[in-house]
A and B are shown apart, each in its own frame.
Chain A
Amino acid sequence: MSNQKKRNFQIEAFKHRVVVDPKYADKTWQILERAIHQIYNQDASGLSFEELYRNAYNMVLHKFGEKLYTGFIATMTGHLKEKAKMVESAQGGAFLEELNNKWNEHNKALEMIRDILMYMDRTYIESSKKPHVHPMGLILWKDNVVHSPKIDKRLLNTLLDLVHKERVGEVIDRGLVRNVTKMFMDLGEAVYQEDFEKPFLEASSEFYKVESQQFIQACDCGDYLKKAEKRLTEEIDRVGHYLDGKSEAKITSVVEREMIANHMHRLVHMENSGLVNMLLNDNYEDLGRMYNLFRRVTNGLATVRDVMTSHLREMGKQLVTDPEKSKDPVEFVQRLLDERDKYDKIITTAFGNDKTFQNALNSSFEYFINLNARSPEFISLFVDDKLRKGLKGIADVDVEVILDKVMMLFRYLQEKDVFEKYYKQHVAKRLLSGKTVSDDAERSLIVKLKTECGYQFTSKLEGMFTDMKTSEDTMRGFYNSHPELSEGPTLIVQVLTTGSWPTQPAVLCNLPAEVSVLCEKFRSYYLGTHTGRRLSWQTNMGTADIKAVFGKGQKHELNVSTFQMCVLMLFNNSDRLSYKEIEQATEIPAPELKRCLQSLACVKGKNVIKKEPMSKDIGEDDLFVVNDKFTSKFYKVKIGTVVAQKETEPEKQETRQRVEEDRKPQIEAAIVRIMKSRKILDHNNIIAEVTKQLQPRFLANPTEIKKRIESLIERDFLERDNTDRKLYRYLA
């Protein structure tokens, strides 16, 4: 007894903070703990928030924050372990359902617990840098439920199984799956990715690997693409329904890789159904699908493009090199245009008007059009044909369309100057023979060429049109000053400026006296009004309309060439003439004369004179008489000259030579222009620059450029560098 009393007298150390009841903290915590139990057991209706909040507040205030915090974690952990057991024991389909229910319960409870512990959340946790109540609740759920050994794998497999079921066509409870994936997302992006997304992508990859293998063995390319497209939309749909939006890019890239990228080449080259087949059959739908799917994978479009390009080149090469197909220039060009239209349509409708595909198309055409050296001529002939007759009855708008298409082909040509040469010849013929259908169309094409190749390219062509116009005025002036000429034959002269027109050797002939008198009058009129000019007659290019009366009085008007007129006029004075006599009287060169006689005597239905002996060819000893029995349904009879539509081999050579000749000054001009600005340049660079500068007109031949350089050196425009022979120097 006394011992105990003594101890009671000991002075106790001063307590900084006096808590009334030493068991205060335990008691308060018990109240809170009981409340947490009740909240988890969904029995919170009897709880007073005010009281619980005040208790938690007091605990923190009295420095029991740590106790409160660890207590809350321990209590919650206990509950979550129980919940995990209940989830584990759920069988089959109820498993996910149970997990989702428990998750919802936990969320609700967590919210309420956080409310009670709000003051701790704000003060104690804030300053002690611990996880706040809500994130802590999520961490505890993740550790005790989601990652519990009996749930972890089972949960993942259940989810993957459901996805698989849906892929093979079963209906699943999407809402439930969405809730569970949402849970993963709530637990944090890392949890969603690690625990669900990654395995999901792996399983998907495996699934599509197998499926694509089956498809590719069983289906043709079109069907395969349809299936791939369907799978892709299904997956995007799936993301929308129950996955995180960020998964879309990942899962689509899995499908793209497994279904498209890995089988790309096999699909494109698939026999009887691959890309080439689709192109040949204009299968826009499948092509569009292929484009849209392949666009999603690296090198996808490049693969499609490469196959299309090589197909185009092969096809084009056959088209332009087949001698059978280049017989008729108009058909030849028409075929090119048709092919271009076909592919243009494929690109616009199926390939989304993709610029890279347009470029591939253009480069392919450029490649094969230039394989045939006659392409420039043929294109010009095509235009000639269209402008002579083809455009009749076609609306202006359509004319423009055709001309635009022709211009497209023109752009592909490397040797634009060759085209120009031919085009000039053809225009000249059209103008002089008055065969042009539409002046507007002619001019429109010239404008197009001008915008394409510049003023130089078309100045001569325009000169030709100007000549035609001035000639009309000149004729009017001539007849106004010679009113007496209204009687007798009419002479229409077209004065052509030398240089503007394709030069042809002037073939002279003896004109009939009536005509020759008129010609002289015109010459004196023309030279009288224009000083310093020279006129020479191009009788080979003229035409004449003459009236003829045959044996039984048949009257006809014959449309003939000037040469033919000369021949026919001879028969006004004699009934019978020999070849030699005709040749002497007209002085027409033999080949021309022969051609002219052939067309007068040998063409069925147009044979206004008869030949003895009857044969196809003209001999030097033949005799000619007027064909008195000539008849024709028409009053006007057009006697054509046998003209070669396409150029003959020697003519072609000649044109070629003329083109080469014309290129020389152009190459020289380019060299001088370049050297003038660069002063010093080495051989390779000069070749490169000249080629580049002349590209719009033609592809300059390096040996030719070299020759021109040498010629310029001879003429002291350039000199070689003394030390480095490869360098050229410009001499001012």
Chain B
Amino acid sequence: MGNSKDRIKLNVGGRIFETTSTTLANAGRDSFFGALFDDEWNLSPPKEDLFIDRNPDCFAVLLDLLRTGDLNVPANIPERLLHREASFYGLLHHVRTSKWGPFDGNRLRLSDSVKGIAPGDGTAVRAGPDGGCCVAHGSVVHVFDWMLEEHCPINLDYQRVNDVGWIDSDNIVLSACEKLGRGDGGMGLFSSSTGDLRYKFQVCHENQVKSYTAGALSFNQDYKIFSSCKGRSNEYGIGVWDQITGKQTDFFYESPGWSLGDADKLQWLNGMNCLLVATLFPRKDNCYISLLDFRDKNMVWSWSDIGSPMAIDEKRVRDAIAMEDSNSICVVNEFEDLGFIDLRMYGGSVRWSSRSRLMKSKMPDEPCYPKLALHEGQLFSSMNDSISVFCGPDWVLTSRLRRSYGGSICDFSIGGDRLFALHSEENVFDVWETPPSPII
């Protein structure tokens, strides 16, 4: 039945496909099919069927994707081939969005493990906004797109990388140690697709350009880049750059007896309009957490464990993350005990919720310090070879992601609806995804 005008016969690489223009319209105007059936291109009616000189097997898969929205790739079709064909038709975006569903920490499945050839321990893994990721190893950052294909690795004068971050799906910022006297290192902006250095950020102190070591990074939606900076002559603090002009716009100098320039972690807090800066053990002997308001150059909140009784020495804060919704900062110690500090009070103490002391006995040979992440009300904490997911107002443990291969997890990151976990051994990272929503 159906409207015969709507029926379309295609000859793809010698195989005949019959479909409807409605199905092909799902591809959108900005695709091969969108243009193919535009009136401008059909001034004379097609002779019999439209020939397309492409692979028919892949077309069958993609046609089903347009028909049902589901992607089902037979084992005999390599992913790369399918992606290549999807790219020809302008359907890559369709393929990407059908591969995995919206992120939910309690429904994650391991979808892939990528092994690399980098020597030594990984420094950081960062998820990109569209499902790609980048992994820092020593002085090089490896960049993967959402198809997990590796692009050109990036480096900044081959200096040791301290942190990386995605500004958008095509721009990566890298922070690295300075090389004394050479002006090498610092911070650079790279193209994720080509690996080209697009811009190198500079630090000025009293109108003089100085070399510096860039540490932890953070970005905000006002197109600002924040980085902890260490200069050669005690120019420690937090630098601020504009993403559009590339110019340094501000510098928050570290005050004596406090730590900003060595910070391990920066986090921009949208609602409070300030930056969380955390310097943690063992980088320094003590932990310093502060909130900086750059509008009036003011440290609006701070916490430190200086002078805490030694009895709780074992509970050193190893990572911290601000949770604006509950007005608190979550911290974690090396036993994966979560602690909370109230952001509304100045000089409050950590309220530990000691869950598991059992871990103490079965510490692996090469322990990794725990890391924290927050995603839409779900709190993630990595410990050794697993990642725990906590939910609800009381942060109940709801899921645990574990895979025995690759040793402890040294860093993990959530973005583009994926979770990437970087292991300390074997240079391997795991990709966790939420499967597409069920059929019914």
Q: Chain A interface (Cβ within 8 Å of chain B)? A: 44-47, 49-50, 53-54, 57, 108, 111-112, 115-116, 118-119, 122-123, 126-127
CB pair A127–B193 under 8 Å, yes or no, is: yes
CB pair B90–A119 under 8 Å, yes or no, is: yes
Interface centre among A50, A111, A112 (most CB of B within 10 A): A50
What is the CA–CA distance of A57 and B40 in the complex, to the nearest angstrom?
A: 20
Chain B neighbourhood of A118, CB < 8 A: 30-32, 35, 90
Interface of A is mostly: helix
What is the CA–CA distance of A611 and B40 in the complex, to the nearest angstrom?
A: 122
CB distance from A133 to the nearest CB of B (A): 12
CB pair A49–B90 under 8 Å, yes or no, is: no
CB pair B40–A108 under 8 Å, yes or no, is: yes
CB distance from A683 to the nearest CB of B (A): 44
- Determine whether B194 belongs to the interface, using a CB cutoff of 8 Å to chain A: yes
Chain B neighbourhood of A108, CB < 8 A: 40
> Given A44-B40, A50-B52, A50-B53, are A127 and B194 also a contact pair (CB < 8 Å)?
yes
CB distance from B84 to the nearest CB of A (A): 9
What is the CA–CA distance of A116 and B36 in the complex, to the nearest angstrom?
A: 9
CB pair A122–B90 under 8 Å, yes or no, is: yes
Chain A neighbourhood of B248, CB < 8 A: none
Measured CB to CB, the nearest residue on chain A to B42 is: A49
CB pair A119–B88 under 8 Å, yes or no, is: yes
CB pair B191–A127 under 8 Å, yes or no, is: yes
CB pair B51–A112 under 8 Å, yes or no, is: no
Chain B 35-58, CB within 8 Å of chain A: the 1/0 string?
Answer: 110101101100000111100000
Name B41's contact: one of A49, A54, A57, A127 (CB within 8 Å).
A49
**Sorted from nearest, which 7 A-B pairs have the closest CB atoms?**
A115-B35, A45-B43, A49-B41, A127-B193, A45-B44, A112-B40, A49-B36
What is the CA–CA distance of A108 and B39 in the complex, to the nearest angstrom?
A: 11
Measured CB to CB, the nearest residue on chain A to B40 is: A112
CB distance from A28 to the nearest CB of B (A): 14
What is the CA–CA distance of A362 and B395 in the complex, to the nearest angstrom?
A: 66
CB pair B36–A50 under 8 Å, yes or no, is: yes
What is the CA–CA distance of A566 and B101 in the complex, to the nearest angstrom?
A: 114
CB distance from A34 to the nearest CB of B (A): 16
- 21 inter-chain pairs at a CB distance below 8 angstroms, sorted by A residue, are A44-B40, A44-B41, A44-B43, A45-B43, A45-B44, A49-B35, A49-B36, A50-B52, A50-B53, A53-B36, A108-B40, A112-B40, A112-B41, A115-B40, A116-B35, A118-B30, A118-B31, A119-B88, A122-B90, A126-B170, A126-B193
What is the CA–CA distance of A400 and B32 in the complex, to the nearest angstrom?
A: 81
- Determine whether B87 belongs to the interface, using a CB cutoff of 8 Å to chain A: yes
Chain A neighbourhood of B44, CB < 8 A: 45-46
> Given A53-B35, A54-B53, A127-B193, are A47 and B41 also a contact pair (CB < 8 Å)?
yes
CB distance from A81 to the nearest CB of B (A): 24
Chain B 166-191, CB within 8 Å of chain A: the 1/0 string?
Answer: 00001000000000000000000001
B345-365: which have CB < 8 Å to A? none
CB distance from A554 to the nearest CB of B (A): 102
CB distance from B150 to the nearest CB of A (A): 16
Measured CB to CB, the nearest residue on chain B to A109 is: B40
What is the CA–CA distance of A49 and B36 in the complex, to the nearest angstrom?
A: 6
Chain A neighbourhood of B36, CB < 8 A: 49-50, 53
Measured CB to CB, the nearest residue on chain B to A128 is: B194
> Given A49-B36, A50-B53, A115-B35, are A123 and B87 also a contact pair (CB < 8 Å)?
yes
CB distance from A113 to the nearest CB of B (A): 11
Measured CB to CB, the nearest residue on chain B to A46 is: B44
What is the CA–CA distance of A240 and B36 in the complex, to the nearest angstrom?
A: 37
What is the CA–CA distance of A498 and B404 in the complex, to the nearest angstrom?
A: 107
CB distance from A154 to the nearest CB of B (A): 31
What is the CA–CA distance of A123 and B90 in the complex, to the nearest angstrom?
A: 10
Measured CB to CB, the nearest residue on chain B to A54 is: B53
What is the CA–CA distance of A50 and B44 in the complex, to the nearest angstrom?
A: 14
CB distance from B63 to the nearest CB of A (A): 16
What is the CA–CA distance of A39 and B38 in the complex, to the nearest angstrom?
A: 14
Name B40's contact: one of A46, A111, A126 (CB within 8 Å).
A111
> Given A119-B90, A123-B87, A127-B194, are A53 and B32 also a contact pair (CB < 8 Å)?
yes
CB distance from A552 to the nearest CB of B (A): 107
CB pair A57–B88 under 8 Å, yes or no, is: yes
Measured CB to CB, the nearest residue on chain B to A57 is: B88
* Given A111-B38, A115-B38, A118-B30; 12 other pairs, CB 8 A cutoff: A44-B40, A44-B43, A45-B44, A46-B44, A49-B35, A50-B51, A53-B32, A53-B35, A112-B40, A127-B191, A127-B193, A127-B194
What is the CA–CA distance of A54 and B53 in the complex, to the nearest angstrom?
A: 8
Measured CB to CB, the nearest residue on chain A to B194 is: A127
Chain A neighbourhood of B30, CB < 8 A: 118
CB distance from B412 to the nearest CB of A (A): 29
Chain B neighbourhood of A53, CB < 8 A: 32, 35-36
Chain A neighbourhood of B88, CB < 8 A: 57, 119
Chain A neighbourhood of B35, CB < 8 A: 49, 53, 115-116, 118
What is the CA–CA distance of A126 and B170 in the complex, to the nearest angstrom?
A: 9
Measured CB to CB, the nearest residue on chain B to A123 is: B87
What is the CA–CA distance of A123 and B87 in the complex, to the nearest angstrom?
A: 9
What is the CA–CA distance of A123 and B84 in the complex, to the nearest angstrom?
A: 12
What is the CA–CA distance of A126 and B53 in the complex, to the nearest angstrom?
A: 25
What is the CA–CA distance of A122 and B88 in the complex, to the nearest angstrom?
A: 10
What is the CA–CA distance of A594 and B19 in the complex, to the nearest angstrom?
A: 124
What is the CA–CA distance of A723 and B171 in the complex, to the nearest angstrom?
A: 76
CB pair A50–B43 under 8 Å, yes or no, is: no
Chain B neighbourhood of A119, CB < 8 A: 87-88, 90
Measured CB to CB, the nearest residue on chain A to B198 is: A129
Measured CB to CB, the nearest residue on chain B to A111 is: B40
CB pair B41–A115 under 8 Å, yes or no, is: yes
What is the CA–CA distance of A46 and B35 in the complex, to the nearest angstrom?
A: 16
Chain B neighbourhood of A127, CB < 8 A: 170, 191, 193-194
Chain B neighbourhood of A50, CB < 8 A: 36, 50-53
What is the CA–CA distance of A108 and B53 in the complex, to the nearest angstrom?
A: 27
CB distance from A104 to the nearest CB of B (A): 13
B88-108: which have CB < 8 Å to A? 88, 90
Chain B 240-278, CB within 8 Å of chain A: the 1/0 string?
Answer: 000000000000000000000000000000000000000
Chain B neighbourhood of A112, CB < 8 A: 40-41
Chain B neighbourhood of A126, CB < 8 A: 170, 193
What is the CA–CA distance of A123 and B50 in the complex, to the nearest angstrom?
A: 25
Interface centre among B36, B40, B87 (most CB of A within 10 A): B40
Interface centre among A44, A49, A116 (most CB of B within 10 A): A49
Measured CB to CB, the nearest residue on chain A to B32 is: A53
B184-207: which have CB < 8 Å to A? 191, 193-194
B45-94: which have CB < 8 Å to A? 50-53, 87-88, 90
Chain B 209-245, CB within 8 Å of chain A: the 1/0 string?
Answer: 0000000000000000000000000000000000000
Chain B neighbourhood of A123, CB < 8 A: 87
CB distance from B422 to the nearest CB of A (A): 26
CB distance from B48 to the nearest CB of A (A): 14
CB distance from B21 to the nearest CB of A (A): 14
What is the CA–CA distance of A108 and B30 in the complex, to the nearest angstrom?
A: 16
CB distance from A22 to the nearest CB of B (A): 22
Chain A neighbourhood of B194, CB < 8 A: 127
CB distance from A39 to the nearest CB of B (A): 9
What is the CA–CA distance of A611 and B194 in the complex, to the nearest angstrom?
A: 131
What is the CA–CA distance of A116 and B32 in the complex, to the nearest angstrom?
A: 9
Interface centre among B35, B50, B52, B191 (most CB of A within 10 A): B35
Chain A neighbourhood of B90, CB < 8 A: 118-119, 122
B139-183: which have CB < 8 Å to A? 170
Chain A neighbourhood of B38, CB < 8 A: 111, 115
What is the CA–CA distance of A234 and B99 in the complex, to the nearest angstrom?
A: 58
Measured CB to CB, the nearest residue on chain A to B52 is: A50
Chain B neighbourhood of A57, CB < 8 A: 88
What is the CA–CA distance of A123 and B88 in the complex, to the nearest angstrom?
A: 10
CB distance from A80 to the nearest CB of B (A): 19
Chain B neighbourhood of A44, CB < 8 A: 40-41, 43
Chain B neighbourhood of A45, CB < 8 A: 43-44
CB distance from A13 to the nearest CB of B (A): 23
